[in-house]
Structure 1
Amino acid sequence: MAIRIRLGDYERVTGDVLGRDAIGCFPRMTEAEALEAGRGVWRLDMKIVSRERFLLITDAGQGLVRAVAEITAVTEHDTDRGRKKALEANLLGPGHPMYDTYINQPDPLANDSRNSVKYGDLPEELPFRTRDCACGCGGTTTHDFVPGHELRAIQARVREHFGGSVLSFITWLDAELPPAAPAS
């Protein structure tokens, strides 16, 4: 599935957690401006978002795709409306099948919902759904790891960097990371 974010009307903002001074769509905005305006902050389902690779930014006015990007990360931010997420992404360009099919075309995931976020399957993304397992085993998957291989990858790093000592790894991790925010 891809994620579609539909931009509303242009508006100036202050105190934006992403440092933006405006959000929404305006005439003649560039693809980079559309991505910046639409990448966050949203209430996103992490179970879905963590598996997705592509982001389409559309405008509510004309219903056209204004930017096509590949998602590289999801970040969390405290807002006055609770904890929300933003997408980090790289714009795609001419020659990429997702870009060539959707840029400046009607929203392929248009619906009557007022929700700006929509998840949906797009045929052009199918060749990109399979990727190499992140553990390095040579297997392929539609997720980051072949099932069970995330533990294999962690164990390999513990052996390589901590002499196989899980306690050493946890001690190092606790020293490197700031304390986690309490779950709400």
Structure 2
Amino acid sequence: MAVRIRLGNYEQTTTDVLQRTAIGYFPRMTEEEAMEAGRGVWRLDMRIISRERFVLIVGEGLVRAVGEITAVTEHLTDRGLKKALETDLLGPGHPLYDTYINQPDPLANESRNSIRYGDLPEEAAFRTRDCACGCGETTTHPFVPGHELRAIMARVREHFGGSALDFITWLDTELPPAAPAA
């Protein structure tokens, strides 16, 4: 699945948590400017967005930028906790770029919501990926089930002599306490 982010009208801002000076779409903006304007901050469901691989940025009904999502970051705004996407901008030669750039929004609907998730046929070739633990197996998720623990334990063995307690102690020392869940 991909996520489509529809940009509103261009407006300048001085309060953006991503330190942008403007948001929204303006005619003749570059693909880089469209991605920067559209990457955040949004109310995104982490259960859904964490499974997405591609993002389409839409302005005035046309796809203005296509990117591959590399991370999702959280930011506290005056309207609560919101998310932003970190992306690699795609270019000519990539099937999603070649199919959708400067074309009508393939996930258009009547909703006022700027965010929409949907399947794009060109994604099929990208649904499987190598397991992030490095085992060489393929999966449609970041890890083959159970392999996230394999990856964690490999690092505990490598950096902490196999001691989970040493790892937890180090983690508690290095990171600030997490905010209580709402």
Same fold at TM > 0.5:
yes
Amino acid paired to 1:167 = L
Structure 1: how far apart are the matches of 2:31 and 2:177?
37
Structure 2: how far apart are the matches of 1:11 and 1:183?
34
* Number of corresponding residues: 182
Trace 1:46-85 onto structure 2 (pairs within 5 A).
Answer: 46-59=46-59, 61=60, 63-85=61-83
How far is 1:3 from its partner?
A: 0.6
Question: Match of 1:161, SS?
Answer: helix
Structure 2: how far apart are the matches of 1:121 and 1:147?
23
Amino acid paired to 1:68 = V
* Pick aligned residue for 1:177 from 161, 175, 179: 175
Contiguous gaps of at least 5 residues in structure 2? none
Name which of structure 1's ranges 106-115 and 149-158 shifts more when overlaid on structure 2: 149-158
Structure 1: how far apart are the matches of 2:179 and 2:24?
30
Structure 2: how far apart are the matches of 1:31 and 1:96?
15
Name which of structure 1's ranges 9-18 and 172-181 shifts more when overlaid on structure 2: 172-181
Name 1:35's counterpart in structure 2.
Answer: 35
Name 1:15's counterpart in structure 2.
Answer: 15
How far is 1:13 from its partner?
A: 1.2
For the pair 1:130 / 2:159, whether they are aligned, the reply is no
Question: Match of 2:148, SS?
Answer: helix
Structure 1: how far apart are the matches of 2:159 and 2:153?
10
How far is 1:113 from its partner?
A: 0.4
TM-score with structure 1 length normalisation?
A: 0.97
Structure 2: how far apart are the matches of 1:50 and 1:71?
9
How far is 1:117 from its partner?
A: 0.4
Amino acid paired to 1:71 = I
Structure 2: how far apart are the matches of 1:183 and 1:169?
23
For the pair 1:114 / 2:112, whether they are aligned, the reply is yes
Structure 2: how far apart are the matches of 1:31 and 1:16?
20
How far is 1:90 from its partner?
A: 1.1
Percent same amino acid at aligned positions? 81
Structure 2: how far apart are the matches of 1:31 and 1:117?
19
Name 1:90's counterpart in structure 2.
Answer: 88
Structure 2: how far apart are the matches of 1:19 and 1:154?
34
* Pick aligned residue for 2:149 from 151, 155, 160: 151
How far is 1:14 from its partner?
A: 1.5
Question: Match of 2:167, SS?
Answer: helix
Contiguous gaps of at least 5 residues in structure 1? none
Structure 1: how far apart are the matches of 2:86 and 2:179?
21
Give me the CA root mean square deviation.
0.8
C-alpha offsets along residues 9-61 of structure 1, whole Å, 9 cap, x if unaligned? 111112100001111000100000000100000000111111111010001x3
